[in-house]
Amino acid sequence: MIQPWFNLTDEEMDDIMAHIEANREEVEAEYRQVVEEAERVRRYWTEYNREHMAKVAAMGPPPGKEEVWAKLQAWKAKLRRERELRRANQSIT
């Protein structure tokens, strides 16, 4: 997936994969740091926007858009259920 994004040759990809394999512990430690930082940033912005998002959610549909709004709310509820199911399945394994 990364190869076309950065327009890498097969040789460059082979070199990258060899480097990762040769330095797996260091690469994985750095990756964990990146993931932890991303989660910290996500939590910050979720909390920062919590009040605003609650106000937006409470606004309801614009006049004349009730049917589309109901479909959107149903879709969002479905996505929440699917996300919760994935989390539950992940915690089991």
92 and 82 fall within a common domain: yes
53 and 65 fall within a common domain: no
Domain that holds residue 72: 61-93
Q: How many domains does the chain have?
A: 2
17 and 33 fall within a common domain: yes
Give pLDDT tens digits for 7-20. Answer: 999 999 999 999 99
Distances (CA, A) of 60 to 9, 47, 63, 92: 51, 22, 9, 37
Give pLDDT tens digits for 21-79. Answer: 999 999 999 999 999 999 999 999 999 999 999 998 888 888 999 999 999 999 999 99
The model carries a pTM of 0.54
Give pLDDT tens digits for 21-33. Answer: 999 999 999 999 9
